[in-house]
């Protein structure tokens, strides 16, 4: 039985570095539970955060709200940025086809 349960929520895109071994195991675990690698990383971190008593104590301190962000967050998710590109390509092809029909 898998240790992680995947629940869909609003997400941001970020860039992280993993060792080759860890990246392979993330992909293998994702295949094992029939989920994405992103879901495995999300759920594994949530699990660790919830089980680490020292971290839970830290979250209750004033220092926890003043931590500098070091996670590299991407400006726009790939799904949102791909839609305007597809629209531009579609609108760019319309005038080309109508000008071809005028010359025919």
Q: Which residue from 2, 69, 9, 47 is spatially nearest to 29, judged by alpha carbons?
A: 2
Burial 31-43 (b: 16+ CB within 10 A, else e): eebebeeebbbbb
Distance CA 98, CA 104 (A): 10
Tell me what pLDDT residue 90 has.
Answer: 47
Cβ of 54: how many Cβ atoms within 10 Å? 7
Calculate mean pLDDT across residues 85-102: 46
The answer to whether 98 and 37 are in contact (CB under 8 A) is no
Structure confidence by residue, pLDDT tens digits, 8-66: 777 788 899 999 999 999 999 999 999 999 999 999 999 999 999 999 999 999 999 99
pLDDT surpasses 60 at 72: yes
pTM above 0.75, yes or no: no
Q: What pLDDT, on a 0 to 100 scale, did the predictor assign at position 46?
A: 95
pLDDT at 68: 92
């Amino acid at each position: 039985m898998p240790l992680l349960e995947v629940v869909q929520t609003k997400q941001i895109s970020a860039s992280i570095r993993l060792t080759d071994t860890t990246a392979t195991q993330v992909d293998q675990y994702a295949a094992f539970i029939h989920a994405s690698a992103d879901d495995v990383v999300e759920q594994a971190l949530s699990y660790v955060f919830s089980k680490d008593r020292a971290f839970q104590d830290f979250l209750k301190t004033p220092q926890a709200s003043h931590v500098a962000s070091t996670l590299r967050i991407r400006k726009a998710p790939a799904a949102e940025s791909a839609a305007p590109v597809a629209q531009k390509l579609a609108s760019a092809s319309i005038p080309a086809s109508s000008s071809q029909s005028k010359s025919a």
